[in-house]
């Protein structure tokens, strides 16, 4: 995986600052360009009749954001990082980030996630989850407590959930690229019975699904890995639970997984394993498109 450009959306929160620190380490290690990106609140265009006082306040927010970003970029450049920044106004953060990806064309987006669940997530949503679902590039997501990997080394322990799709094949390739020379890569396959409505003309009224045997999975993993070495783990159960259990047991520093990018009705009905892993993982998760 070539990392030449990294985009880092930031709202100046502790979570965003934590993600920014990881992005700086990655940019330093890979010699990549780094762009900080901030969406100035409020996320709507001021109406024509807005008072001068309110307009002055909005202008102040823009100046303060630019000043803060410029100060950070100057410090990064002084440390040898090829850094820049950009801002956007009058649009929702996820839309602005999608536009920034189209304009900047990064190889990776690094973004903090607040890990909201339940009613709070239903009401507020998650910018990180919307971004990884909509942008066509790899997204590294991490919460404020996720351990950071410094610029002096690559990842020593990486976990890759495999479902034998083209998405997970790409994730496997990326994981090997990011793994340290003496690192250990773990692959996990969870025997489960997913039903994707778009894949069957009968929707959920599809024929009964019989999971493959462990031996068949092992054969597939052998073909997938080829000459590359990885510790293999085949499990039976709920994918989210088993992936997180595998992470805890292996003490992986990073989870790399493919994402199908389900949207619309499919996403509402099926959800996304990758998004749920991002929400619950104690370590950084790289979702690969």
Tens of pLDDT along 27-36?
999 999 999 9
pLDDT value at 279 more than 80: yes
Give domain status of residue 31, yes or no: yes
pLDDT value at 120 more than 70: no
Whole-number pLDDT of residue 142: 95
- Compare 212 and 171 and report the one with higher pLDDT: 171
pLDDT value at 186 more than 50: yes
Which tokens is 282 given? 């104690």
Note down the domain range covering 255: 155-288
Per-position DSSP letters for 30-99, written without gaps between them = HT-EEEEEEEESS-SPPPTT--HHHHHHHHHHHHHHHHHHHHHHHHHHHTT--EEEEEEESS-HHHHHHH
Least confident of 159-173, 196-210, 219-233, 246-260: 196-210
Same structural domain, 27 and 129: yes
pLDDT value at 136 more than 60: yes
Whole-number pLDDT of residue 213: 74
What total of structural domains would you count in the chain?
Answer: 2
Same structural domain, 236 and 207: yes
Give domain status of residue 149, yes or no: no
- Residue 60: pLDDT band with limits 50, 70, 90: confident
pLDDT value at 241 more than 90: yes
Q: Which of 142, 171, 189 is the last residue of a domain?
A: 142
- In the chain, what percentage of residues exceed pLDDT 90? 60
Pairing assessment for the beta strands 138-142 and 108-112 based on DSSP bridges: parallel
pLDDT value at 196 more than 90: no
Same structural domain, 92 and 216: no
Give domain status of residue 42, yes or no: yes
Same structural domain, 96 and 23: yes
Whole-number pLDDT of residue 261: 52
CA–CA distance, 221 with 164 (Å, rounded to integer): 8
**What is the overall mean pLDDT for the chain?**
85
- Compare 44 and 128 and report the one with higher pLDDT: 128
CA–CA distance, 126 with 39 (Å, rounded to integer): 15
CA–CA distance, 250 with 160 (Å, rounded to integer): 11
CA–CA distance, 246 with 265 (Å, rounded to integer): 30
Give domain status of residue 107, yes or no: yes
| Runs of H (alpha helix) within 105-235 | 118-124, 127-134, 166-178, 214-225
Alpha carbon 242 to chain centroid, angstroms: 19
Same structural domain, 161 and 198: yes
Residue for token pair 């989850």? 129
Q: Which of 142, 163, 185 is the last residue of a domain?
A: 142
Whole-number pLDDT of residue 53: 72
pLDDT value at 52 more than 90: no
pLDDT value at 193 more than 70: no
Same structural domain, 135 and 160: no
Give domain status of residue 96, yes or no: yes
Least confident of 19-23, 58-62, 86-90, 199-203: 199-203
The enclosing domain of 161 has a CATH number of 3.40.50.620
Whole-number pLDDT of residue 45: 67
Q: Which of 142, 164, 191 is the last residue of a domain?
A: 142
Same structural domain, 198 and 252: yes
Task: Express each pLDDT in 74-101 by its tens digit.
Answer: 999 999 999 999 999 888 899 999 999 9
pLDDT value at 281 more than 90: yes
The whole-model pTM stands at 0.86
- Residue 151 CB partners (closer than 8 Å, separation 6+): 24, 25, 26, 28, 29
Whole-number pLDDT of residue 106: 97
Beta bridge partners of 38: 87
Least confident of 52-66, 139-153, 183-197, 270-284: 183-197
Mean pLDDT score, 31-44: 90
Whole-number pLDDT of residue 254: 98
Whole-number pLDDT of residue 194: 52
**C-alpha distance from residue 70 to each of 24, 59, 64 (Å):** 15, 16, 10
């Amino acid at each position: 995986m070539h990392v030449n450009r990294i985009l880092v959306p930031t709202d100046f929160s502790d979570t965003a600052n934590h993600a920014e620190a990881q992005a700086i380490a990655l940019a330093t290690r890979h010699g990549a360009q780094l762009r900080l990106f901030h969406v100035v609140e409020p996320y709507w265009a001021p109406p024509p009749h807005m008072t001068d006082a309110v307009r002055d306040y909005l202008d102040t927010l823009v100046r303060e954001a630019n000043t803060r970003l410029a100060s950070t970029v100057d410090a990064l450049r002084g440390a040898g990082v090829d850094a820049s920044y950009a801002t956007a106004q009058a649009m929702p953060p996820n839309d602005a980030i999608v536009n920034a990806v189209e304009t900047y064309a990064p190889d990776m987006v690094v973004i903090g996630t607040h890990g909201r669940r339940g009613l709070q997530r239903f009401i507020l949503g998650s910018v990180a989850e919307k971004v990884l679902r909509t942008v066509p590039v790899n997204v590294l997501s991490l919460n404020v407590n996720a351990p950071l990997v410094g610029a002096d080394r690559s990842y020593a322990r990486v976990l890759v959930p495999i479902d034998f799709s083209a998405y997970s094949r790409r994730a496997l390739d990326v994981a090997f690229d990011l793994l340290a020379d003496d690192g250990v890569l773990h692959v996990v396959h969870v025997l489960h019975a997913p039903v994707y409505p778009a894949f069957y003309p009968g929707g959920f009224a599809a024929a009964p699904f019989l999971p493959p045997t462990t031996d068949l999975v092992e054969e597939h993993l052998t073909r997938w890995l080829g000459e590359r070495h990885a510790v293999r783990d085949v499990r039976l159960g709920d994918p989210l639970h088993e992936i997180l259990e595998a992470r805890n047991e292996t003490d992986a520093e990073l989870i790399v997984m493919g994402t199908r990018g389900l949207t619309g009705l499919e996403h509402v009905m099926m959800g996304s394993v990758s998004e749920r892993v991002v929400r619950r993982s104690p370590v950084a998760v790289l979702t690969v498109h």
